[in-house]
Structure 1
């Protein structure tokens, strides 16, 4: 089936809220083998919504509308769809009963316009709203039209409980669209695309789509067919891609670099402490934002000032005088000393020039990251581009990346 999602609400066009429903629905439609070809947003206007429906009917087998099912005068979705399909609105007794019960239990007066939320298109299959008042519905025809409430807290459970099974029963093919996201760090989109250029050029099923975001690169693999065949096809494509670009691969789907690193730390039994000059606590915040951090994160020191580096973390005065605070030597001492101070198995440090001005005669973007453990200390030198905030965030992510690679190497040697 070819589907179109129409989000109804002037607040979407005014930029007052984001259209998160379209993203959620597109992801869920793949589970039942439905291809979403179009996203449309339209204001609370009957004539413009009718025009959107007319355009969608010509190019789609399934139209999903979100929003505009409430009790107010500008909630026009049901009325417009009924007029468009030449049907009437009738009252759904179960929905009406639930609405009346809602107000009665709260000892609130039920205004007449709330009855509107129980009105449904005649002949539609009704989806009861267990998380709100306005029911959803599906209207069968040459083009199937589905109406869903706008609030995500109502729409999402209704999609899971009612719409997905309903669509699966209706399509009955057993086919699905299965996606897998491969996540990479430390390589640019252009370089990664170059590594797999022939794969992208010759893709069919599965399809291969690279995307850069927040200093990372993802590759979405998508296969359409029977579920078991999809998994096998994705496995083969993943193996081919990682044989060329596996050095930069770190995880799947929605997993973040911080989460994968935190999981690896927890699995390894290691503990970590951090000394953060450049990143100002950002690295520690990333790790402690993950569940289970108390088992591996012992603590950190934000050491922006040279006096803190010397007096708290015992960096030698001679080191700072000879090499500066932004140096390989200073980074190494910070990592080693914070490890000792916090009694952790690993120490990591960050020092550099975030910009926009130079520091100690060193250009913005120069970063040193050191990792110290019982085997010694490794220092990485980076030259990062971008704004001050971008340099700091990318440095923290590189800290996760370098640490993850080290943990993975240690794990492989054990095996």
Structure 2
């Protein structure tokens, strides 16, 4: 079925807000086996929004709109959609009651009349309770066409879509669509595509779609079948072949798992504690790890040692090492990792030192040169990396490579020796 995405909000047109909903909804629709042929962004203008909706209904089976469901005067989405479909607006008692409960919890006595307009819905609409906001989602059906209305804030849109809209969309599909994500680290996008070009050339069902991320490549394997079990059977040999080709470069086949989640899980599994030391990344590595709930079980401390003085004082890096080899060197990275363990008694350590640019590079040590070290089981492994891109890109790639290095060291020490 053909789906069209329409994003409502003048702030989107002006670039005041990044349209992350476009990326999210496009990916989720593809995951559900729905074809997205068009996307539009329209401002808070009734006439232009109505024209966009009419155009969408003429060429697509399902329209998904986000934004414009709130209580203010420029929130016009549901009213405009109702007019296009010729549906009157009526009050939904259930939504009205939820609004009353919401304002009572806030102890808000003087509720403005505009707030109650969120309880007005197009007649016959399927109302989707919004557990994270006041504006409900809506599904409108008429003459074989469907319009789905979602709130604009991602914190409201995402759970509403996954819990209520996605199952509805899947129920309209004649076939079951299932997919799995094979996530790869340590292999560039062009090399990954070269390694699977024969599989892509001959693919039909399942299909393989590559997605490049910073320092990673994700391969989505998708199958269509009459049942979920059949789809899984179709995907199994494809995933098995990918595992054979990429080996330990694959860090997960679970959609929800991030690299940092996998690393934290491995630390917990083998009862390892970790300390980090960062120079050019300035705390980005620690921040990525600390994003994971429960990381306090394994993460001891993080040092930001940007200056040579900090490297000496906090990590015990030898002054002669810095003088002879420089802050950006294999030797300094080695001592930074050892210093982490000495200072905190951690069982593992990661250290990063490099030149993120745009200045500071030389012929011998160009911008993008980064040394990453990992201490584990009384051994230190140091990797020299040469990244490309701007300052932020280099720092992000260094963080990904550091987490992957720790992951591989844990595999080498604990899993390959079984």
TM-score of the alignment, normalized to the shorter chain, above 0.5: yes
Q: 1:58 to 1:405 in 2, by over 3 A?
A: same
**Would the aligned equivalents of 2:127 and 2:138 in 1 still touch at CA under 8 Å?**
yes
Q: CA deviation at 1:86?
A: 3.4
Q: Deviations over 1:123-146 (max 9, x none)?
A: 434445564155624223221233
User: C-alpha displacement at 1:189, in angstroms?
Assistant: 0.9
Q: Rate the CA distance shift 1:319–1:126 in 2: closer, same or farther, 3 A.
A: closer
1:234-249 aligned within 5 A: 234-249=235-250
Determine the structure 2 residue equivalent to 1:383. 386
Matched residue of 2:223: which SS?
A: strand
- Map of 2:125 onto structure 1: 124
RMSD: 3.2
Alpha-carbon distance between aligned partners in 2 of 1:281 and 1:357, rounded to the nearest angstrom: 20
Instruction: Please give the secondary structure, in 1, of the residue aligned with 2:366.
Output: coil
Cα separation, 1, equivalents of 2:78 and 2:66:
11
- The alpha carbon displacement at 1:195 in A equals 0.8
2:81 is aligned to 81
Q: Is the CA contact 1:3–1:36 (under 8 Å) kept in the aligned structure 2? A: yes
2:277 to 234, 252, 275: 275
* Count of residues paired in the alignment: 413
Q: Structure 1, unaligned stretches of length 5 or more?
A: none
Instruction: Return the alpha-carbon distance in structure 1 between the equivalents of residues 348 and 138 of structure 2.
Output: 54
Specify the SS of the correspondent of 2:317.
coil
Partner of 2:377: 374
Deviations 1:74-112 (A, max 9, x none): 333334333323343344344445556766785634555
The residue that corresponds to 1:402 in the other structure is 405
**2:45 matches 1:45:** yes
The aligned residue for residue 203 of structure 1 is 203
CA 1:370–1:205: 2 relative to 1, 3 Å? same
The equivalent residue for 1:347 is 349
Q: Please give the per-residue CA displacement for 1:138-192, whole angstroms capped at 9, x wherever unaligned.
A: 22322123334444455445445554455556x374x332232222222211111
C-alpha distance in structure 1 between counterparts of 2:314 and 2:155, whole Å: 48
**Matched residue of 2:53: which SS?**
helix
What SS does the aligned partner of 1:233 have?
helix
Distance in 1 (CA, whole Å) between partners of 2:375 and 2:163 is 50
Cα 1:71–1:244 change in 2 (3 A) is: same
Q: Which moved more, 1:159-168 or 1:72-81?
A: 159-168
Which residue does the alignment assign to 2:416?
A: 413
Q: Compared with structure 1, are the counterparts of its residues 162 and 370 closer, same or farther at alpha carbon in structure 2 (3 Å cutoff)?
A: closer
* Aligned partners of 2:376 and 2:409 also within 8 Å: no
Please give the alpha-carbon distance, in whole angstroms, between the structure 1 residues aligned to 2:130 and 2:299: 43
Q: Given the alignment, which residue of 273, 278, 285 partners 2:287?
A: 285
Q: Is the 8 A contact 1:44 1:76 kept in 2?
A: yes
For the residues of structure 2 that align with 1:70 and 1:31, how far apart are their CA atoms?
29
- Quick one: distance in 2 between partners of 1:107 and 1:302? 46
Could you say if the C-alpha distance between residues 74 and 191 of structure 1 is closer, same or farther in structure 2, counting changes exceeding 3 Å? same
Q: Quick one: which of 333, 338, 344 aligns to 1:336?
A: 338
Shift of residue 209 of structure 1?
A: 1.6
- Report the Cα offset of residue 412 of structure 1: 1.9
In structure 1, the partner of 2:297 is: 295
- The whole-number CA distance in structure 2 between the counterparts of 1:349 and 1:27 is 35
Residue 3 of structure 2 corresponds to 3
Give the whole-Å Cα distance in 1 for the aligned partners of 2:73 and 2:9: 13
Map of 1:322 onto structure 2: 324
For 1:231, the equivalent position in structure 2 comes to 232
Which 5+ residue runs of structure 2 have no aligned equivalent?
none
Q: Whose Rg is larger?
A: 1
Instruction: Name the SS for the 2:286 alignment partner.
Output: helix
DSSP-derived class of the 1:145 partner? strand
User: Cα deviations across residues 166-225 of structure 1 (Å, max 9, x unaligned)?
Assistant: 5556x374x332232222222211111111112222222222221222232222222223
Q: Tell me, what secondary structure is at the counterpart of 2:205?
A: coil
Q: TM-score under structure 2 normalisation?
A: 0.85
